[in-house]
Amino acid sequence: MMASLRHFATRQKNIMWWGMQHRLAEPLMRKTMEMDYGLTESARVRALRARQDEYRKKEQDVFERFLQQLELFLTACVRLVFSLVTVWPFFAGQLWGGKNGQTDGRGTGLFTLLAAAALIGSLLLNHWSVRQQGKKRRAIHNEHEDENRLNDYMMDEVVLSTEAGKDIRIFHQQKMMESYGNQMNRNWRCMTLQYAANDVRHFGLQGMLSSCVGGIVYLYVAFCAWAGSISIGNVVRYAGAVQQ
């Protein structure tokens, strides 16, 4: 199920990504700057215009993207509930001491508190990273909002407009459009690099914290096995239950 959802999300992301590429590159370079009167209403140009409309509809379908994110969120909640249900019978006794809930004298209870504190700290830091990543992405979006509005206007009213394309050809404005296209690409690359730097930084931190959570789990299971709280033969079973 998760593989299918990841495949669907990746497919939607690729559709939006290449849709943006086609909206920015193909119409500007092939339809406007290299347009010929005889090809203005050819089947190829009509197909290109229809493809732009299709991509625009996909990008504007906010409700479908909301449902997609809601589905991912509900799936994560279900997995969390099942993980807690699976883990609780195995570790309920260890939370208060050794076998049968009695303290074994080797500091299992203290180590449990330390492991729980480290685990909670990792989860809180991961939550902070996710929030900071979202705030930074919103700040980048606000920084380039005026540029994006201008680009969207130029795309709708100039690049994708047949009449505007004719005017550009008649009044020899190809150089002006080329200059605008270069500026648009520079702004787009700058915004993309800012997004990428923000995502790489926080994704790296979140990946490290996820690895730390796994390490804490394995250390806790190993310590419980060393203290005699669980049998050595069930170490993999206990660790797998928590990692689920």
Q: Where are the domains of the chain?
A: 2-243
Q: How many distinct helices (H) and strands (E) make up the chain?
A: 9, 0
216-242 per-position pLDDT tens digit: 777 777 777 777 767 666 666 666 666
Q: What percent of the chain lies above the pLDDT cut of 90?
A: 0
CA-to-CA distance for 69 and 60, rounded, in angstroms? 15
* Residue pair 93/99 in contact by the 8 Å Cβ criterion: yes
To the nearest whole number, what is the mean pLDDT of the chain?
Answer: 68
The C-alpha atoms of residue 127 and residue 84 are separated, in whole angstroms, by 19
Distance between CA atoms of residues 77 and 114, nearest Å = 26
Confidence of residue 8 (pLDDT cuts 50, 70, 90): low
Dihedral (CA of 167, 54, 72, 118) sign: negative
Give the burial string for 174-186 (b: 16+ CB within 10 Å, else e): eeebeebbeebee
Q: Could you read off the pLDDT of 168-221 as tens digits, one per residue?
A: 777 777 777 777 777 777 888 888 888 888 888 888 888 888 778 777 777 777
Average pLDDT over every residue of 15-30: 54
User: What pTM was estimated for this model as a whole?
Assistant: 0.48
- Contact (Cβ atoms closer than 8 angstroms) between residue 230 and residue 238: yes
